[in-house]
């Protein structure tokens, strides 16, 4: 049998549909959402709240992280060790997380423990007691971890780039600082918890994804709250802050910065480069997403093919379109050998210039769209992935029907559109660039891009808001 020189033609792509979902809005209370994913006997339950690090007072950077790690160490019903034992005995995973604009408490469990897990989720979400000694230990641990992170070049590059891109805006705020961590008290942690995790609040969403009957579960869980102590449509401080117009976001952007961070012991130079761009709800979002895929979205992108496969400058380089509710950012990162730093800086900048100067071709457009359309079902193939999609829809204020249309919206992007958004939203002249490595070498590599500011060993960006 002769081996064919081309792959077999693919059959018809099976359509993807969003899993069966039932939503019940408790009047004046939380939204309950249940999604059926019955492949495995597992369920993920999440309390998702609007409000996150965005509303934390200046000087307390790190407060959310301490809340995340301390909330499991004691509730009204369980001591820290007791809670750990009951969780581990059932193989249950518990996770607290806080983003800029949302906060989550999530439990993943085998479906046989579902009923028990529902009660436990409420206990850990609404009943933490934050014993003083646990707060003190987690604060000390967070300080040590931050010391460690400040030795990681990628972390340093991200820190400075974020500051350069967003200026003093809360989007550019550091999630934790040594000073902020030291200042956080037990009362701050308790206060943060009470502001965000209000039981019965209409800011909350109880989400269940997995091996459940969504009709039965959504209605049953909603009934638990119907006669409860509901808070109507109250807003939090965090929401009030988040709803203010964000000065400085969107073009015109803050003055681009070129920063060399001196890390004398480095074996590589790590670059971060980026600028602000549009929020998730912007009409240009889908076209810009396609443009980013062509530019640096994977191992077939322009960045990867040129900088790694043709020029051997790096192990990996990708670009990222990060679109929040108020604004977003287009950025890229790469690390290169010390003796290639100058070449790499120039090459990276040239790729940004190139995506504007050399228009995306019809073939590139087709490839990028096919990738994004075909990849979407993978994103929604696990309980965690589906839960994240539901959360994202709520945080960005669109309905789940938008996910059903997601592939069609990507497929509808045409060449004119993608060219227009590339010109509109990718601006080489607005790029801030950070290089972490031996200071003098970094400064030399960045010099052709503009006036270089050299930051000393141990320097970190200021935390103004």
Partner 1 sequence: MVLQPDSAVPIVGLALYYGIGSRNEERGRSGFAHLFEHMMFQGSANVGKAEHFRHISAWGGQANGTTSRERTNYFEALPSNQLGLGLWLEADRMRSLAVTPENFENQRQTVMEERRQRIDDSPYGEAMVRLGEISYRNWAYGHPVIGSWEDLKNAQFDEVVDFHQTWYRPDNAVLAIAGDVDVEQAMAWINEFYGDIPAGPPRAAPNLTQELRTAAVHEQVADPIAQLPAVFINHQAPPFNHENFPVYEVIEAILFRGQSSRVFRRLVLEEATAVQISGGYEAHNGPSLFGMFGVAGAGAHDDLGKIVAGYKEELDRMANALVSKRELETAIHQIQANWVFRQEGVLNRALALGSAELFHADPLWDKKLLDRVALVTAEDVQKVVQTAFPQHGEVILEVHPR
328-347 positions binding partner 1, by CB under 8 A: 335-337
| Total residues in contact with partner 1, by rule CB under 8 A | 80
- The nearest distance, CB 149 to partner 1, in angstroms, is 9
Structure-block tokens of residue 262: 């001196």
Interface with partner 1, residue 110, by CB under 8 A:
yes
Q: Which stretch binds partner 1 (CB under 8 A): 95-103, 142-150, 182-190, 446-454?
A: 142-150
Q: Which is nearer to partner 1, 90 or 282 (CB)?
A: 90
- Residue 447 CB, shortest distance to partner 1, in Å, is 23
Binding flags for partner 1, 275-314, as an x/- string (CB under 8 A):
-----------------------xxx----x--xxx-xxx
CB of 273 within 8 A of CB of 161?
A: yes
Cβ 263 to partner 1 shortest distance, Å: 9
C-beta closer to partner 1: residue 142 or 222 = 142
Q: Please state the closest distance from residue 143 (CB atom) to partner 1, in A.
A: 8
372-431 residues in contact with partner 1 (CB under 8 A) are: 372-378, 381-384
Give CA–CA dist 126/390, Å, rounded.
Answer: 22
Q: Which of residues 42-61 bind partner 1 (CB under 8 A)?
A: 42
Q: Which is nearer to partner 1, 70 or 103 (CB)?
A: 70
Sheet holding 93-98, edge to edge: 21-25, 31-36, 204-210, 42-50, 102-110, 93-98
Contact between 108 and partner 1 per CB under 8 A: yes
Phi, psi of 225 (to 5 degrees): -105, -10
CB of 382 to partner 1, least distance (A): 4
- CB nearer to partner 1: give 189 or 246: 189
b/e sequence 70-103, b meaning 16+ C-beta within 10 Å: bbbbbbeebebeebeeebeeeebebebebbbbbb
Closest distance to partner 1 from the beta carbon of 320 (Å): 17
- Cα end-to-end distance, the chain, whole Å: 69
Shortest distance, CB of residue 425 to partner 1, whole angstroms? Answer: 23
From 97-105, 353-361, 365-373, 448-456, span contacting partner 1 (CB under 8 A): 365-373
Among the listed ranges 7-15, 225-233, 412-420, 423-431, the one in contact with partner 1 (CB under 8 A) is: 7-15
Show the site string, 66-95: x = touches partner 1 by CB under 8 A, - = not: ------xx------xx--xx-xxxxxxx--
Could you say which of 29, 153, 254, 327 contacts partner 1 (CB under 8 A)?
Answer: 153
Residues in the chain: 465
- Taking CB under 8 A as the rule, does residue 115 contact partner 1? no
- Supply the minimum distance, in Å, between the C-beta of residue 358 and partner 1: 18
| Residues in 169-208 at the binding interface with partner 1, rule: CB under 8 A | none
Nearer to partner 1, 420 or 459 (CB): 459
Indicate whether 131 belongs to the interface with partner 1 (CB under 8 A). no
Residues 119, 281, 315, 412: which binds partner 1 (CB under 8 A)? 315
- CB 173 to partner 1: min, Å: 23
The pairing of beta strand 258-262 with beta strand 204-210: unpaired
Decide if 49 contacts 103 (C-beta within 8 A). yes
The radius of gyration of the chain from alpha carbons, rounded to an integer in Å, stands at 24
Q: Which stretch binds partner 1 (CB under 8 A): 99-107, 140-148, 390-398, 442-450?
A: 140-148
Q: Interaction with partner 1 in 217-276: which residues (CB under 8 A)?
A: 265-268, 270
* Among 217, 221, 209, 121, residue whose Cα is nearest residue 386: 209
Q: Is 157 in the site for partner 1 (CB under 8 A)?
A: no
Q: Is the CB of 99 or the CB of 382 nearer to partner 1?
A: 382
Q: How far is the CB of 330 from partner 1 (least distance, A)?
A: 20
């Amino acid at each position: 049998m002769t081996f064919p020189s081309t792959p077999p033609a693919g059959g018809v792509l099976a359509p993807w549909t969003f899993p069966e979902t039932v939503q019940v809005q408790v009047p004046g209370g939380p939204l309950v959402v249940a999604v059926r994913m019955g492949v495995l006997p597992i369920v993920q339950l999440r309390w998702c709240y609007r409000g996150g690090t965005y509303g934390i007072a200046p000087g307390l950077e790190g407060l959310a992280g301490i809340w995340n790690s301390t909330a499991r160490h004691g509730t009204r019903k369980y001591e820290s060790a007791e809670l750990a034992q009951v969780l581990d005995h059932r193989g249950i995973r518990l996770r607290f997380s806080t983003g800029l604009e949302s906060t989550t408490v999530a439990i993943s469990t085998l479906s046989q423990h579902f009923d028990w897990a529902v009660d436990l989720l409420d206990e850990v979400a609404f009943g933490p007691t934050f014993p003083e000694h646990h707060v003190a230990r987690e604060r000390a641990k967070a300080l040590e971890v931050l010391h460690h992170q400040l030795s990681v070049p990628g972390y340093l590059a991200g820190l400075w780039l974020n500051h350069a891109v967003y200026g003093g805006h809360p989007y550019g705020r550091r999630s934790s600082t040594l000073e902020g961590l030291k200042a956080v008290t037990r009362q701050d942690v308790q206060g943060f918890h009470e502001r965000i995790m209000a039981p019965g609040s209409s800011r909350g969403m109880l989400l269940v994804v997995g091996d459940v009957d969504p009709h039965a579960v959504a209605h049953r869980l909603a009934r638990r709250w119907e006669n409860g102590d509901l808070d109507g449509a109250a807003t939090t401080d965090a929401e009030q802050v988040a709803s203010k117009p964000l000065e400085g976001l969107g073009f015109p952007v803050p003055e681009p910065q070129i920063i060399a961070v001196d890390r004398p012991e480095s074996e590589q130079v790590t670059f971060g480069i980026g600028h602000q761009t549009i929020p998730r709800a912007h009409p240009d979002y889908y076209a810009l997403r396609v443009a980013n895929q062509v530019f640096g979205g994977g191992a077939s992108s322009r960045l990867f093919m040129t900088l790694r496969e043709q020029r051997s400058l790096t192990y990996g380089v990708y670009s990222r379109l990060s679109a929040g509710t108020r604004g977003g950012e287009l950025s890229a990162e790469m690390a290169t050998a010390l003796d290639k730093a100058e070449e790499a800086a120039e090459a990276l900048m040239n790729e940004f210039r190139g995506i504007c100067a050399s228009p995306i071709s019809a073939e590139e457009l087709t490839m990028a769209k096919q990738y994004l359309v075909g990849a979407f079902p993978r994103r929604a193939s696990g309980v965690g992935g589906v839960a994240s999609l539901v959360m994202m829809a709520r945080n960005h204020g669109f309905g789940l029907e938008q996910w059903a249309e997601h592939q069609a919206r990507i497929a509808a992007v045409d060449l004119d559109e993608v060219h227009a958004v590339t010109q509109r939203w990718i601006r080489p002249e607005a790029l801030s660039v950070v290089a972490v490595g031996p200071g003098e070498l970094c400064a030399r590599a960045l010099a052709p891009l503009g006036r270089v500011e050299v930051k000393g060993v141990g320097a970190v960006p200021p935390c103004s808001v």
